[in-house]
Amino acid sequence: AGLHYKDILVYVAIRSFYNVKDKYCYPSYQTIAKRAGVGARFVSESIKRLEAAGFIDIWKVGKGRVTHYYKFSEQERYQRVPYSLLEDMELTVYEKSMLLLIAEYCDNDLVCSRTITEIAELSGQTYRIIDRQLKALILKGYIVEELIEDSASKTINKVMKLTNKISWLKNMNVTGQAVEKPGVDIDAILAMASKSFRR
């Protein structure tokens, strides 16, 4: 889609401010940059690419000092990303971005059977960039390589698997869809509180 692989991280950073009730969010470039760990100038360019690729819609509000409101297309692939990844201090911005890129090609068991060459061709990134970041992610324990036997073709294939250092499957059902967290209904609590204050 003409995106830089760090654009995925910017997208996830913006989406982490998403307001479920209003269906939008409006963080500033500086706030997004801080959350993603990139520069504000990169955020500005990244947002243009994300909008052109159809990942976000931008609504401008106000005159003079304009606020950007972000709405999201129904891209399900990045809704399962745990936002704790953004706060992980062990990973660099490049490693976080590559982890998100590789996760895009994983199945629901968090296994990626594609080769680096295939991921490079599909994503538009270079083999060298993917290989360098992948090696760092393996060394840090975020990805493991495993050998899988295919008895039908009598071959052994090397696959990549995301480890549990990130809680990828938290709040996910078997189809990979985000699951509503059972929990507290804030409106109901506020209604109960206002009734008790009236008494």
pLDDT (tens digit, 9 = 90+) per residue, 31-45? Answer: 999 999 999 999 999
Unique residue bearing structure tokens 């809704």 = 79
> Cα separation of 190 and 133, whole Å?
47
Predicted TM-score of the model (pTM): 0.75
38 and 94 Cβ atoms separated by less than 8 Å? no
pLDDT digits (tens, 9 = 90+) for 122-148: 988 999 999 999 999 999 999 999 988
Provide the 8-state DSSP code for 24: B
The three-point CA angle 25-175-100 to 5° equals: 55
Indicate if the alpha-carbon torsion angle 63, 67, 72, 77 is positive or negative: positive
Total Cβ atoms within 10 A of residue 193: 10
SS (H, E, C) 115-126: CHHHHHHHHCCC
